[in-house]
Amino acid sequence: MKIEVRPSSAQDLPRLAEIESASEYSAGWGEKGLLEELSRPDGIVITIVTDGVPSGFAAGRAMAGVASLYDVAVAPEKRRAGLGGELVRAFAGAARRAGCGRIELEVNAANAPALRLYEKCGFAVVGRRPKFYNSTDDAILMDMELR
């Protein structure tokens, strides 16, 4: 499998919106919301391409020395192949280049695969928001220092 990780482009957005809609815990931005993130001066949107086809993305923002990772999504047929980790590492690199020293995120406590991914990538749990998602699931707050 040939893998390329690069900044997202407007041409990627229809496929990225499809991937997002297939992800249970995704932010739910759709193509319009992804375009807004891509257009922001503080936005970081990364696409991973496998064999010439966009297969996932990471999106967030870099503000005042801290990056916020809002969404990581991988196409269902490409999951469990290490693409999520590649996306997080690429996002971290972009955050460093934007002058950030730390990345923060929140993740649904019920999203065990994402929790494992973030821990494996070096994030640590720093807090919890009870019943944050739909007054049911807790949000786990995590961050990672960039070196």
Eight-state DSSP code of residue 114:
H
Question: CA 38, 56, 39: angle at the middle one, nearest 5?
Answer: 0
pLDDT of residue 65 exceeding 90: yes
Is 123 a domain residue? no
Q: What is the CATH number of the domain that holds 31?
A: 3.40.630.30
Whose tokens are 């922001």? That residue is 40
Question: CA 41, 42, 44: angle at the middle one, nearest 5?
Answer: 105
Range list of H helices, the chain: 13-21, 30-39, 83-97, 112-120
pTM of the model: 0.93
Expressed as residue numbers, the domain containing 72 is: 3-103
Q: What domain count does the chain have? A: 1
Is 49 a domain residue? yes
pLDDT of residue 24 exceeding 90: no
Is 72 a domain residue? yes
Least confident piece of the model among 16-30, 47-61, 102-116: 16-30
Is 111 a domain residue? no
As a whole number, the mean pLDDT across the chain is: 94
Is 118 a domain residue? no
Alpha-carbon torsion (22, 25, 30, 34), positive or negative: negative
Distance CA 27, CA 107 (A): 11
Alpha-carbon torsion (53, 58, 59, 63), positive or negative: negative
Is 59 a domain residue? yes
Is 127 a domain residue? no
Which pLDDT belongs to residue 7? 95
Mean pLDDT across 14-21: 95
Is 87 a domain residue? yes
Residue 75: pLDDT band (50, 70, 90) is very high
